[in-house]
Amino acid sequence: MTRGDGAEAADGAGAVSAEDAAAVERARALLTAMAARLAAAGARDEALARYEEPKPALGVIPRRPTMRPLGRAWRLGALLLQADGSVWATGISTRVAEPGRPQHHSASVETRRAYRAAAIQGGFPMGETVNHSVAPIALDATLIGGPGPLVVRDGEVWVRWGSDAPVPLARYLDDLADLLLHPPQGA
């Protein structure tokens, strides 16, 4: 399997059609152009991070989980777009706020509290939105028929978001960028 040049199918079964290879290139071009548009407009971006649970010091002294910065990106629904045109699948979003003390609430409440504490430990400022548990999306032949939110099928680039039917990438980017650039009043 060749990655990056579109020369072979993502599943290794044979050659990629010219239409699918062209669609992968269009996806790259659309994402790069949208990143330039959002950067030029000064659109609000968000932090990307990797949640880490460090190993205990000396094998026994517990250390606090942290979030390691991975950069910044614009949230476009199921996609997180970076300034260089690279894209990530969304994961978990955490707003940095004082985590408070464990209150023995539900597991989901305690998990969110732990994420806030890890974001503070990672040095993210209060009020920042931090996206973690994100996955990079390779802009190569693996998009062809792939399982992720960005997929090439029949020579077209589609975005899957939730249970909705796939949407063409160009329309998806335009719609979500418009919301980012012109948020509804009160948003």
Read off the pLDDT of residues 127-168 as tens digits, 9 standing for 90 and up: 999 999 999 999 999 999 988 999 999 999 999 987 778 999
Averaged over 5-20, what is the pLDDT?
61
pLDDT score of 161? 84
> Does residue 152 fall inside a structural domain?
yes
pLDDT score of 64? 85
> Does residue 1 fall inside a structural domain?
no
pLDDT band, residue 101 (cuts 50/70/90): confident
What residue numbers bound the domain in which 96 lies?
18-181
Tokens of residue 65, six digits = 């989980």
pLDDT score of 42? 95
pLDDT score of 186? 66
Q: Which of 61-70, 100-109, 122-131 has the lowest mean pLDDT?
A: 100-109
Question: pLDDT of 41-73, one tens digit each?
Answer: 999 999 999 999 877 777 777 778 899 999 999
> Does residue 10 fall inside a structural domain?
no
Query: What percentage of residues in the chain have a pLDDT greater than 90?
Result: 66
Domain count, the chain: 1
C-alpha distances out from residue 54 to 34, 162, 180, Å:
36, 32, 35
> Does residue 39 fall inside a structural domain?
yes
> Does residue 8 fall inside a structural domain?
no
> Does residue 11 fall inside a structural domain?
no
> Does residue 106 fall inside a structural domain?
yes
> Does residue 140 fall inside a structural domain?
yes
C-alpha distances out from residue 170 to 26, 34, 40, 159, Å:
9, 9, 18, 9
pLDDT score of 137? 97
